[in-house]
């Protein structure tokens, strides 16, 4: 089912409220987590860790995407595909179709989605991206519904967990933490004579804070001028890109920033016209026209997130004892059209990364 937005959230709440009286399902508790099961079809099935799960059980899985962009869409698709695969293997159903929503980068919408998912008594919530994860965490502090986040760049600084090995009482997940220095190593390998670098990001995005601090430290260590431009909307990001082009910076860096990601298709040609390569913290930026995206494979990240959900719901794992997973992020994705337009030879990257992936400008991954 296609992702639903707020109006669908409210409509779904009304429908489920009316339909609840005729339900044939009861609830049982597994390792502190409420699990929805069909009492008439319950039987034992072997799980991946040797424990027994209820064959025919149905688990209600809430998926909350922060905003539409290529990376987050890729994560959601991978989560759903893996849940379908594991459900078939284990003889259970992960019902996400009725509980999948998109917050459209609006905190009011995200809070109302959280309220509806709690009212629906879902068995787990999977928020995708930091702002969604923070709101879902707040909504589950009292009820302790498990939260398994995906694509949170710095879960500790965001206050989601005490540390990667010490998750919160009901929260864990996967991180797309960025190796900022590695991005700049690529930048200076391609052009050792860089004198000024623009930093383009949304100052309200928690995911941007740490890599921007790391970027400043790296550049100051090289004696390179730093030009910061920020924005919180597409129009502001577009204006910030114009300002960086006017400033004549030699390159631009953006971390894993969802606001800039949603604006990339509208700004990448500005940088090409100005002869400025845009180095970024996710492969989706390159798909949307930026010269380079560096980071994790988001399909793998989504799959790993779904596997953690299965361990918690089916295998009875405790979120508080499940370490946050940080995937290797040594993949450089280069937009070959942009590279050609800028005249950049990126062959040097092959010895500096786990892999170099080539892409061309499009809206979504195929």
Give the mean model confidence (pLDDT) for residues 149-172: 87
Do 6-175+299-326 and 180-295+330-359 agree at the fold level? yes
> Under CATH, domain 180-295+330-359 is a member of which superfamily?
Response regulator (3.40.50.2300)
pLDDT at position 4, please?
54
Ramachandran sector of residue 293 (left: φ over 0; alpha: ψ -120 to 50; beta: rest)? beta
Over residues 80-90, the pLDDT tens digits come to 999 999 999 99
CB atoms within 10 A of CB 366: 4
- Is 262's pLDDT higher than 80? yes
3-class SS of residue 28: strand
User: To the nearest whole percent, how much of the chain has pLDDT over 70?
Assistant: 84
Ramachandran sector of residue 244 (left: φ over 0; alpha: ψ -120 to 50; beta: rest)? alpha
> Under CATH, domain 6-175+299-326 is a member of which superfamily?
Response regulator (3.40.50.2300)
pLDDT at position 162, please?
84
Q: What is the chain's Cα-based Rg? A: 22
> How far is the C-alpha of 225 from the C-alpha of 228, rounded, in Å?
10
Give the mean model confidence (pLDDT) for residues 172-193: 96
Q: What is the pTM of this model?
A: 0.80
Q: Which of 248, 197, 243, 251 is nearest to 223 (CA)?
A: 197
For Cα atoms 165, 167, 169, give the angle at the middle one, nearest 5 degrees.
145
> How far is the C-alpha of 108 from the C-alpha of 28, rounded, in Å?
32
> How far is the C-alpha of 254 from the C-alpha of 261, rounded, in Å?
9
- Is 55's pLDDT higher than 60? yes
Mean pLDDT score of the chain: 86
pLDDT at position 1, please?
37
Question: What are the residue ranges spanned by the domains of the chain?
Answer: 6-175+299-326, 180-295+330-359
């Amino acid at each position: 089912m296609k992702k639903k937005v707020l109006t669908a959230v409210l409509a779904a709440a009304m429908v489920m409220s009316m339909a609840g009286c005729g339900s044939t399902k009861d609830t049982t508790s597994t390792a502190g987590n409420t699990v929805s099961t069909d009492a008439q079809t319950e039987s034992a099935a072997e799980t991946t860790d040797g424990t027994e799960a209820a064959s025919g059980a149905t688990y209600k899985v809430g998926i909350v995407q922060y905003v539409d962009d290529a990376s987050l869409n890729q994560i959601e698709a991978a989560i759903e595909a893996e849940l379908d695969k594991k459900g078939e293997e284990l003889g259970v159903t992960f019902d996400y179709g009725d509980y999948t929503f998109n917050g459209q980068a609006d905190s009011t919408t995200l809070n109302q989605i959280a309220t509806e998912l709690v009212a629906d008594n879902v068995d787990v919530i999977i928020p995708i991206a930091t702002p969604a994860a923070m709101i879902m965490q707040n909504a589950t502090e009292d009820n302790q519904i498990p939260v398994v986040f995906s694509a949170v760049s710095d879960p500790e600084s965001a206050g989601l967990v005490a540390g990667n090995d010490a998750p919160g009482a009901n929260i864990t997940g996967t991180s797309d933490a960025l190796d900022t220095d590695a991005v700049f190593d690529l930048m200076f390998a391609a052009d050792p004579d860089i004198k000024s670098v623009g930093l383009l990001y949304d100052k309200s995005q928690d995911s941007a804070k740490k890599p921007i601090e790391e970027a400043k430290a790296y550049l100051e260590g090289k004696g390179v001028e730093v030009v910061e431009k920020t924005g919180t909307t597409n129009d502001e990001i577009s204006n910030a890109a114009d300002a960086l082009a006017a400033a004549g910076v030699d390159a631009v860096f953006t971390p894993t920033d969802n606001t800039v990601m949603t604006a990339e298709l509208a700004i990448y040609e500005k940088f090409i016209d100005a002869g400025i390569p845009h180095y970024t913290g996710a492969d989706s930026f390159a798909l949307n026209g930026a010269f380079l995206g560096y980071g994790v494979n988001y399909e793998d990240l989504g799959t790993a997130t779904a596997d953690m959900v299965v361990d918690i719901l089916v295998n009875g794992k405790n979120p508080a004892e499940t370490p946050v997973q940080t995937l290797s992020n040594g993949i450089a994705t280069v937009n070959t059209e942009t590279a050609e337009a800028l005249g950049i030879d990126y062959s040097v990257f092959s010895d500096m990364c786990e892999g170099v992936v080539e892409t061309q400008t499009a809206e979504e991954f195929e």
